[in-house]
Amino acid sequence: MRKFQPTPIMVSAAQAVFLSMAFVQTIRPIVLKYQTEILAKGQWHIRPEFATRLGDTVISGPKDSYLMSDKDFAKYDAQCKLARVNANLHVDKEEHCPLLIAEDLQRQAEHALVAAMMFELPTVTLDKLLQAGMDKYKEYIDLTLRLLSPFVKTGPAALAI
């Protein structure tokens, strides 16, 4: 059995995933804190067309913000944008959420990792992983990162991708 030796592309892709994960973990608590506080203060209810099925309850979690009326969402979104500015979180486009941007960067880095690993495992493609379900996809990413982590640079050297 030959000893696994990753390519520089594999190592670089794994490093990009680790950095993107750190970015998400840095941004998430800041964004969720202000979103949750804004929702608690706003006391917005589920829009009527959903309330008949879900009940007329106050929306308390950011993941449920899509359930509020367009008018209420506009107020919520404006307050979130102001909170983002006050938290000194930069986005390229004003309408973007910094957490969604960070999560998308992580997703892109994971996809690049899958592509880099195809040289070693050509039968494992992104399409096949996604068709197998998110649990299998996440398991593959986790196992691949565990395999490659001993080869990834840490500390200041990690930032020089």
DSSP-derived secondary structure letter, 4: P
- In a domain, residue 1? The reply is no
| Residue 115 token pair | 């592509």
Alpha carbon separation from 21 to 16, 47, 90 (Å, rounded): 8, 34, 18
| pLDDT tens series, the chain, 161 aa | 678 889 999 999 999 999 999 999 999 999 999 999 999 999 999 998 888 888 889 999 999 999 999 999 999 999 999 999 999 999 999 999 999 999 999 999 999 999 999 887 888 889 999 999 999 999 999 999 999 999 998 766 655 65
- In a domain, residue 94? The reply is yes
- In a domain, residue 69? The reply is yes
How far, in Å, CA of 98 to CA of 66, rounded? Answer: 17
45 beta partners: 58
Please give the residue range of the domain that contains residue 143.
Answer: 8-149
- In a domain, residue 107? The reply is yes
Give this prediction's pTM: 0.86
- In a domain, residue 155? The reply is no
- In a domain, residue 160? The reply is no
Please state the domain count of the chain: 1
- In a domain, residue 87? The reply is yes
Say if residue 29 is exposed, middle or buried (CB neighbours under 10 Å; 0-12, 13-18, 19+): exposed
- In a domain, residue 159? The reply is no
End-to-end CA distance of the chain: 31
